[in-house]
Structure 1
């Protein structure tokens, strides 16, 4: 399913000249997504903020790690203004999973600033309740914010969930946009910046809204599996499987979930096109998926079904590998007519000419 909506009249996007990005990482989180995004290069977050990307609106970024302020009320000022309806348009970025504050007992699970009147901590949920309905767009960054992630695994005491679970999967921003989910643990830096840039071009009226799948992920990023972009996929076809983590061969029998996980990291790399879990010997543990981590544990065990699929591939793969080996040996030899003798033996025969 493709989710395509537009914050416009007559189906045509209405451009804005200025956008504020209110980035709250006070969800249940390690701030790894913020740290990851600092490594982006397509485009770099610095280029977006400083106006070096042509066609984008002026961007004002409020992120605690990247903020030039001293923190405190100076940092909170734009968030408070937006909550009062005095700052627009803005994109709300949520990092970290959303706890269930209805089961917090006498305390709270996570907070962001204090109530100006009482001095009591303001929960993340309080901010989401006030900011999301006023936001031009809402983005969940990282698997914790998109689907709950590590904090939402079985047995957790917080009732943690993803942003769409909290706001509702049918949520729409003031621009008519659904939540944009960019999962990853942490998020692949260019995946997020590319998605954010597309969203900003849409805000400028220069692009349609980004196409999303039924899980609200960017289709062009998460439309293929790890296996389809993996450097090791050819070994799977030939039933040539790694037995340990030092091998360059397919790792499906030592715990890799790549054939069933939607992620582009092996093809895109991690920083500057380099890296990506299977590319550097790491198995895929499904960190971009809604079922992570519970449905992928224990991480180092062979995935269910891998023994059946690898067994089925074995006779075919062994035959193909043998045939390709023979052909490889043949094409690794030069033709016999390449020599320095007096006779021409290439088969050249001009007798057909008149």
Structure 2
């Protein structure tokens, strides 16, 4: 009998074990599930830990420092070699540059290769860091697409990093609301629900979308509830959105787009110089090289980030300091501006380069 009594567990011990097990279940299963639900509904850059974001940025800037220094050194050395060869040639040919000078032609070609290939490589590295930032600060495991555009001499926008479904075909900014508004204002542009915007804004422009088809096939999503962030995220979490994705894909004119890259939100960040803030501090020749305007900003290019989810980006106003995505993207835009300026300086900003370009063209 005494042995039986001793076998019966102490109620306090039993209760403690049960509470411990429940705590483990909560910590491992329920808490993780709640975390995933909250992350899906309220996901934004703010949901990521500060140390995680800042470490990722620190790594990106350190990598850029090394690559930029190497790029600058290679450009400087090759340009010096070209300048020396041109000087020798001109002294021996009555101050004219001979078209059949193979040494000068070779150096000019090698300089252009650095200006094109290495430049694109550095830009590509920055876009990968931008993707990494969003991957570390979002619930979605699907990466955004990132592109960098600059204006050509005809004021058309050129994508510097074309791929299979986004070519480098020149675009007229007036055919796209996202481009025209950024160029007109010099400030970022955010649309976290392109479907709703295309349905409700009669002045919305996007040359890649069939607006008529949007109105025919996406009518359900014209309800005001679909403009809201929380209903959209709840729907995404529990429905899988198959009909929405299939119908939206059909609204794009390009047959190269798939459900996996038919984007529903996008953010544009101008790559700029503030003319009123820097003109008085810059060398006059440098001001002319950048063609800094007297009024407002000079836009050197535009970063475009898009994603297949609605409400993917920080929902705060793009002009508010608390929009973390915009704050971070401006840092990357400043890095890109350094590359653009460096390339301009060693190409159209160089007398030697322009002389070679006139003689040899883009051979």
Pairwise TM-score range, normalised by the shorter structure: under 0.3
Q: TM-score, normalised by structure 2?
A: 0.19
Q: TM-score, normalised by structure 1?
A: 0.20
Q: Larger C-alpha radius of gyration, 1 or 2?
A: 2
